[in-house]
Structure 1
Amino acid sequence: MGTLRDLQFALQLKIEELRQRDTLIDELELELDAKDDLIRRLQGELDRMRVTLSTPGSSAAGCLALRNSSQRVKRRAVMAEPTGWVDKQVPPQPTLTSHSKSPESQELIRGALQENSLTKHLERGQILALVDCMHPNTVSQGSCVIREGDNTSLAYVIEEGKIEETKAGHKLQTLEAGRLVGEIALLHSHTCSTTLTAVINCKLWVIDRQSFQSIMLTSGHRRISQALDLLRSVPFFRSLAEDALMKASDALEECRYSEGDYIIRHGSPADAFFVVSQGQVKVTERRSVSEEPMCLSTLGRGDWFGERALRGKEIKEEGRNEEEEVDEEKVKEEKDVEEEEKKE
């Protein structure tokens, strides 16, 4: 059993350890505040450049919707630091090098990108482009991947091995295969706040900021151009000036529907104008409860519907819920009976 002096010494060591942890927590809180500020600045840059990314999903038809409503779906986006590209100019063509990968490596990189908070909302084409241009790198045990205080432009996906993350000599966590690390460097030039060291020999896949920005800007420009082309094909928008068309294209939201889904139902309030961007949309009408819906027309890419919603008017495209129709039939029958009784 230790003496009182030994216990006092152990207590002092414990107090010092707790003090160091408190200091580390304070530093991490400051770092978190700095990252929040960075996110706010990037969001402002994002809004200015209007480079939007929609959530991927399978569907039989895709429509761009312009809503006559003050409440719009929140659109997620990622934007990099300014590159000098103006909306109406064609961005410089990126020179991206493709690097061959095994199907297993491709799947691992895709999974890492889709699980990371920064890249998980990218669309499928953007994910595939990022996977394609990533190049391999190996790091030996004990080597630094990222050093605290350095300014880097690279992000990494761990395929094999383990990486230890430390700050001021204190271990924060151990990162294993299937993780994307250093992703903030893809958005903006910044000073690394932690050190990443290989615990064992590691195999990594690397992407640089310039390649990431090129993919994001090119896909954003393509989406804006496609939206403008679709709007120009609609007579309702042909008389609008170019600036008004740009604002309308920015207000468009991508909506995806599976085969058999209703876009507009008869009797429902209409608050959106739709342009078909892919797939087909069937317009049907049900003239009575007992009859099957009758197809009036089939709309394809470039076709539109719902233009009266932009003027604050409702439209009705397809049969209502059968229970609603049955109720209306009953009301009509009751009115007919009342009229007959009055006549008698």
Structure 2
Amino acid sequence: MFNRNRRGSVSAESMHPEDTENEEHIVIPKSDQAKMRIASAVSSNMLFGNLDSDQRRMVVDAMFERRVAANETVIQQGDEGDNFYVVDDGLFEVLVNGKKVVEVEAGGSFGELALMYNTPRAATVTAVVDSILWGVDRVTFRRCVTGHNFRKRKLYESFLKTVPILSKLHPSEVTKLSDALEPANYEEGDYIVEQGDLGNYFYIIEQGEVEVTKVDEDGNELMLPSLSAGDYFGELALIHNTPRAATVMAKNDVRVAALAKDAFVRLLGPVVDIMKRRTISYSTFDRQALEAMLQSIKENSDGESTEDEETHD
């Protein structure tokens, strides 16, 4: 009785990232509509929610179609897990120990534990009517995710070595930082951060250029120096736990690597002091820029007054 009721062991295939680096990207033809339905179905799934857009696309591309007849069993409780399924059309019932617990219709999914662990199926899933499924096997899913993460890490490690302020980080810290970074793309005119908003991310520019502006206490808008590849921004709100101090807008197509607040505090400890010292130069520049702007306004006003007097004479 003790052995029979024990939970099954949890395991998964050992997979080395280097082994997947040169493997061809699997693409099983499917319509754009089918891809959209699959993407919509897995958008709220925990596993897919942790994937970036490129990883989701790779997994969706690798999914195969399976047509199921009414009353056909797709998953049998106690069997070894193999595939994860998204319901494209039809209806399925899920039974645990012979008792129906839920129904899954178009847009739903089941079998995700097969992608995580090599454990027996926890339920039986049977088609109620003729149905269509899209599936992906555990090995292909893991290969897509593992291979992509490995390539992303190598790419970011190379890039981060070119960022001067991160030169003090140990190689192991750079690797951890690479894993935590999230890519994001912006088009010309997009606001990346806006002054006064809460800050939840720190940004490093991979490519492109951004415009930085700040409105002072008197309502004057100051133009701060533009930033380009290798520069960073967003650290002030995270260091001081205050709202965004400036607005950053994409001047052209911009790609950034974003780091969430908790990871920023955990991974960038060695360079936070340097960033704090940089805030002094921000304040100095603000004062200088404001003085220059006010002087320019004064000079323009004086010039206009002189011209008016000459015209009047």
Q: Deviations over 1:178-203 (max 9, x none)?
A: 11110110111110111011111111
Q: Distance in 2 between matches of 1:218 and 1:283?
A: 36
- Indicate which of 68, 85, 92 corresponds to 2:16: 85
Q: Label 1:115 to 1:244 Cα distance change in 2 as closer, same or farther (>3 A).
A: closer
Say which one has the larger Rg: 1
> CA deviation digits over 1:128-176, x for unaligned, max 9?
2111111111111111100011002201111121111112211112211
Match of 1:303 in 2: 231
RMSD: 4.1
Query: What is the aligned partner in structure 1 of residue 26 from structure 2?
Result: 97
Q: Which residue of the partner structure matches residue 277 of structure 2?
A: 313
How far does the alpha carbon of each residue in 1:45-99 deviate from its partner, in whole angstroms, 9 at most, with x for none? xxxxxxxxxxxxxxxxxxxxxxxxxxxxxxxxxxx9452426xx57443344312
Helix, strand or coil for the counterpart of 1:119? helix
Question: Does the CA-based 8 Å contact 1:284-1:319 persist in structure 2?
Answer: no
Aligned partners of 2:62 and 2:136 also within 8 Å: yes
Taking only the aligned residue pairs, the percentage that are identical comes to 26
- Cα–Cα, structure 1 residues 147 and 319, in superposed 2: closer, same or farther, change >3 Å? farther
The CA deviation at 1:123 is 1.9
Q: Which of 307-316 and 187-196 deviates more? A: 307-316
Alignment partner of 1:118: what SS?
helix
Q: Spell out the pairing of 1:1-344 with structure 2 (5 A cutoff).
A: 81=12, 83-85=14-16, 89=18, 91-238=20-167, 240-250=169-179, 252=181, 259=189, 261=191, 263=193, 274-284=203-213, 289=218, 291-297=220-226, 299-304=227-232, 309-311=272-274, 312-313=276-277, 315=279, 317=282
Q: Quick one: distance in 2 between partners of 1:287 and 1:178?
A: 50
| Structure 1 pair 144–318 and aligned structure 2 pair: CA distance change class (3 A) | farther
SS, match of residue 49 in structure 2: coil
Please state whether the residue corresponding to 1:293 is helix, strand or coil. Answer: strand
Q: Is the 8 A contact 1:265 1:317 kept in 2?
A: no
Shift of 1:222: 2.5
Q: Could you tell me the TM-score, scaled by structure 2's length?
A: 0.64
Aligned length in residues = 246
Whether the 8 Å CA contact 2:66–2:135 is kept in 1: the answer is: yes
Structure 1 residue 235 displacement after superposition: 2.5
Cα distance in 2 for partners of 1:208, 1:289 equals 61
Cα offset for 1:221? 1.5
Query: 2 CA distance for matches of 1:100 and 1:118?
Result: 23
Looking at structure 1, the residues matched to 27 and 84 of structure 2 have their Cα atoms a distance apart, in angstroms, of 17
Q: Which runs of 5+ in 1 are unaligned?
A: 1-29, 39-79, 326-344
Provide the C-alpha distance between the structure 1 equivalents of 2:201 and 2:63, rounded to a whole number of angstroms.
40
Q: Greater strand percent: which structure?
A: 2
CA change 1:275–1:135 in 2 (3 A) is: same
- The gaps in structure 2 that reach 5 residues or longer are 236-267, 291-313
- Displacement, 1:122? 2.3
Amino acid at match of 2:14: T
Q: Distance in 2 between matches of 1:135 and 1:188?
A: 21
Q: Partner residue of 1:63?
A: none
1:233 CA drift (Å): 0.3
- Once residues 250 and 218 of structure 1 are traced to their aligned partners in structure 2, the CA distance between those partners, rounded to angstroms, is 13
